[in-house]
Amino acid sequence: MHAYFDNAATTPLDPEVLEAMLPFLSQHYGNPSSLHGPGRQVRAAIENARKTVAHLLGAAPAEISFTSGGTEANNAAIFGSVRALGLRHAVTSPLEHHAVLHPLQALAKAGDIELSYVRHDAQGRFDLAHLDELIATHPRSLVSLMHGNNEIGNLNDIEALGALCAGHDAIFHTDTVQTMGHYRHNVQALQNHFLVGAAHKFHGPKGVGFLYTRPGTQSVPFIHGGSQERNVRAGTENVYGIVGLAKALEIAYRDMGAHRTYVQGLKDRFIEQLRAQVADVQFNGCSADANCSLYTVLSVSMPPSAISEMLLFNLDISKIAASGGSACTSGAQAGSHVLEALRTDPDRATVRFSLSKMNTADEVDYAVAHLAKLYQPVTV
């Protein structure tokens, strides 16, 4: 059996999405900036995709810009807003994805901004009183805090965060890469200035994403060189990727209720069986609490053992694909800035199981059985 539990890194492509993309990989190859018939045909596909994404988010089409993925979208929001608005202060957390931390740290290193970090507790929950204090003492701030943590699964209250930011006229950017396609985002009910999405996190293609920008929010282009995307993002559009993104998000919204119930059931099964079969198993952050964590992510802390350093290797040999944290920081769990910030026990091995609608109960049982076998006490 093969068991793929690394869906927070990337998800399998949905067959419906591939079907929607195929004509734009073979038949419809015009450049969308060209004025001739083949170009106009492809341009229409992009604009239809933009309308689909906007409709699902409760946005206007002009508020959606297509990018090469979540990393570019986050960079565009951060650099674009700081430069356009002349912001001198930003607030983030040490638990953010590097696609947010590194741009902010680069701006701070260059002397463009002062960078503050909001405090969090041992489970990774933000101290909102501290956030309020940080943005109240600066004229105007950029606040960048994620919706769902890709490593420990914590789900943050972006409605509360948005309201707090609005009270201080702060610009609020939220990395929604892990929650887009899994939770409903309606920008009319939120107070975010920026939201982002990456298609490959919800069964779409890799290499394409989008940035939502609230109307009236000033920003400057992050990539220069052409007038594509209404002068927001230069470069010939990834047409088949954009078509696939829109189709994948459409499917995700269509099936979200059933998908969530099914995947949460798999996660609950994982937790229950791990607790029953592995002594001293623990869970990082809020990962095991269904009320405040992503239903797609389970961060498991295994007891100290001689095999801890080889845990992922042993799982891989058994054809179980999982990760130690973020796939963007290599396959090794050592060096996870999130786990380091939480001050987890370095003698315990962390393995992140991330699930999707394509996983099965048999795969969960298979993975737990192998973990239990690896951690059985050695008898002399």
Best CA proximity match to 78, nearest among 190, 178, 171: 171
3-state secondary structure at position 217: coil
Distance CA(211)–CA(194), nearest Å, equals 7
One-letter amino acid for residue 250 of the chain = E
Q: Which of 165, 286, 292, 328 is catalytic?
A: 328
If phi over 0 gives left and psi between -120 and 50 gives alpha, with beta otherwise, what is residue 157? beta
C-alpha distances out from residue 239 to 39, 41, 55, 352, Å: 11, 11, 19, 33
Crossing angle of helices 239-254 and 256-277, in 10° steps, is 80
C-beta neighbour count of 43 within 10 angstroms: 18
Radius of gyration of the chain (CA): 21
Backbone angles phi, psi at 29, to 5 degrees: -115, 10
Distance CA(345)–CA(350), nearest Å, equals 10
Best CA proximity match to 8, nearest among 278, 224, 287, 283: 287
> Residue 261: which residues within 8 A CB-CB, separation 6 or more?
none
Strands 64-67 and 209-213, by their bridges, are antiparallel
Backbone angles phi, psi at 325, to 5 degrees: 180, -120
> What is residue 13's DSSP assignment?
P
Residue 292 is among the residues annotated as catalytic for this protein: no
> What is residue 308's DSSP assignment?
G
Q: Where in the sequence numbering do the catalytic residues fall? A: 328
